[in-house]
Amino acid sequence: MGRAPNVEPDHIHEKEHVVQEGMDISGHWNRMFEQRVIWDYTPELIEKVADTPGGESLAFCYQCAQCIPVCPVNTVGDYGPRRIYRRVQTGQDLFTSADLWQCTTCMNCLRVCPKEVDMIQIMPAVREKAVLDGGVPEELQTVFQNTFDYGNPLGESPKKRAAWTRRAAKAHGVDVPLMKDKKKADILWFVECYPSYHPRGVDASVALAKVLDVLGVDYGILGAEEKCSCDSQRLAGEVGLFEEFAEYTIKLFKRYKAKKVMVTDPHALNAFRKEYPKLGGTFFETIHYTTFLRDRMDELGMTKPLGYKVTFHDPCYLGRHNGEYEAPRDMLRAIPGVELIEMGRCRENSYCCGGGGGGMWLDGFMSDHVTERLSENRVREAVETGADVLAVCCPYEVSRFEDAVKSTGNEGKLVVRDIVELVVESMGVGDE
């Protein structure tokens, strides 16, 4: 039998021959352990986290382990708040541990925790100290530097941020207006980084521009003036960068008198709703594009039945973090010829794509700690539903899931599409 952790062999006592009430319990059957003394634990490392502003709730954990089955990283690895607490309790310094960077801040653990151990506060707080001390995975440091230098994590030129609009004009005859020309509009569309630069993100942006044009929405985008909302960088520990960019964006919103901001990215939604008000961004309402479009689907002239079986992935930062579960489903149900099939893990218990909390840029780092990527696990679940299409509405997910479709050998079985791409397809609108 293996020995228990933190129990030395000379602390284990067995009687070679013993019969108790007629039952032979010789050898390991009567194994007894000496009482584990308090110095077998390291409460100072728990206190180190709990004494960090934002990290207080780690000390609340009483190790019930309800978090472990719902932790997406644990599904493909060895993780979860209770495991982290136990490791810190028995000698692991979270500030220098690889465990610090694996949490995707998906919030599923907090949903079930009876003691409200809040990893969405704990992890960014500890990561902030690690960032200041220079203990950051190289992939993540590159993203921080790109964001600082170029205003986006991809390292693309800010001058090209609105380049995608030329494709909207060519494909659909849609002129996407800039706020610097309009000065004010009913809707300020905050496009974000991946929808501006990543090829598949651009596909969704072009489709959404077409939909807004058909609806006659009075809107504008920031174009080259726009910088990353930095919510994922904040959650990955770069709080200073987040605050600098937030203050810049708040000034832009004030300049253009924005009262309603529409976002493509649920991470931007989270930043604008929950973090920007702390820095003075209290004068505008933020809405996700699915919430904005859900009640106007009948105005889009969708006449082409698609004939698809579709399953939908709830983004963590749209669903659990911001409570929007119905709008994406309302959009999908309104598209002719779409049969919506739910995955087993959906809505409040939806699985995570692995992109949150900095995970979008840590696939290389994570490969040393998990048996497969979270996105691959999710794609397998989507395939099992028999769906033709995995529908998404977060710009991190299209590229993550498309890569996972390939790496799991499911090409030809499942297609990944943003919801607004399906809308435009049903409108019978072509591309270049």
Domains of the chain by range and CATH? 39-132 (no CATH), 138-294 (3.40.50.1860), 298-426 (3.40.50)
Measured over the CA atoms of residue 15, residue 19, residue 20 and residue 23, the dihedral's sign is positive
Residue 343 vs residue 33, higher pLDDT: 343
Provide the pairing of β-strand 32-33 with 12-13: antiparallel
- Can you name the residues that pair with 286 across neighbouring β-strands? 261
pLDDT digits (tens, 9 = 90+) for 272-314: 999 999 999 999 999 999 999 999 999 999 999 999 999 999 9
Asked if the model's pLDDT at residue 246 lies above 60, the reply is yes
What percent of the chain clears pLDDT 90, i.e. is strictly above it?
A: 87
Asked if the model's pLDDT at residue 86 lies above 60, the reply is yes
Q: How far apart are CA 413 and CA 168, in angstroms?
A: 29
Q: How far apart are CA 115 and CA 91, in angstroms?
A: 23
pLDDT given for residue 432 in this prediction:
44
Q: How far apart are CA 404 and CA 155, in angstroms?
A: 24
Which of 169-183, 196-210, 231-245 shows the lowest mean pLDDT across its residues? 169-183
Question: How high is the mean pLDDT of the chain?
Answer: 93
- Residue 127 has, within 13 A of its CA and on its CB side, a CA count of 29
Work out the angle at residue 293's Cα, subtended by the Cα atoms of residues 386 and 165, and round it to the nearest 5 degrees.
95
1 falls in which pLDDT band (50, 70, 90)? very low
Locate the DSSP E strands across 285-379.
285-288, 308-312, 338-340
Residue 432 vs residue 178, higher pLDDT: 178
Q: How far apart are CA 352 and CA 120, in angstroms?
A: 14
Asked if the model's pLDDT at residue 41 lies above 60, the reply is yes
Q: How far apart are CA 425 and CA 187, in angstroms?
A: 24
Q: How far apart are CA 408 and CA 260, in angstroms?
A: 41
46 falls in which pLDDT band (50, 70, 90)? very high
If phi over 0 gives left and psi between -120 and 50 gives alpha, with beta otherwise, what is residue 341? Answer: beta
pLDDT given for residue 255 in this prediction:
94
pLDDT given for residue 23 in this prediction:
82
Structure tokens at 95: 């500030």
**Contact between 196 and 232 (Cβ < 8 Å):** no
264 falls in which pLDDT band (50, 70, 90)? very high
Neighbours of 405 (CB within 10 A): 22
Asked if the model's pLDDT at residue 19 lies above 90, the reply is no
Asked if the model's pLDDT at residue 211 lies above 60, the reply is yes
Asked if the model's pLDDT at residue 48 lies above 60, the reply is yes
Q: How far apart are CA 132 and CA 144, in angstroms?
A: 12
- Mean pLDDT score, 54-81: 96
Alpha helices, DSSP H only, in 173-286?
179-182, 193-197, 199-215, 231-235, 239-255, 266-270
pLDDT given for residue 63 in this prediction:
93
pLDDT digits (tens, 9 = 90+) for 151-182: 999 999 999 999 999 999 998 899 999 999 99
Note the Cα 302 to chain centre separation in Å.
31
Asked if the model's pLDDT at residue 356 lies above 90, the reply is yes
355 falls in which pLDDT band (50, 70, 90)? very high
DSSP letter string over 364-408?
A: HHHTTT-SS-HHHHHHHHHHHTT-SEEEE-SHHHHHHHHHHHHHT
Asked if the model's pLDDT at residue 216 lies above 90, the reply is yes
pLDDT given for residue 2 in this prediction:
46
- Mean pLDDT score, 133-159: 96
Contacts (Cβ under 8 Å, ≥6 apart) of 341: 309, 310, 311, 385, 386, 387
What percent of the chain clears pLDDT 70, i.e. is strictly above it?
A: 94
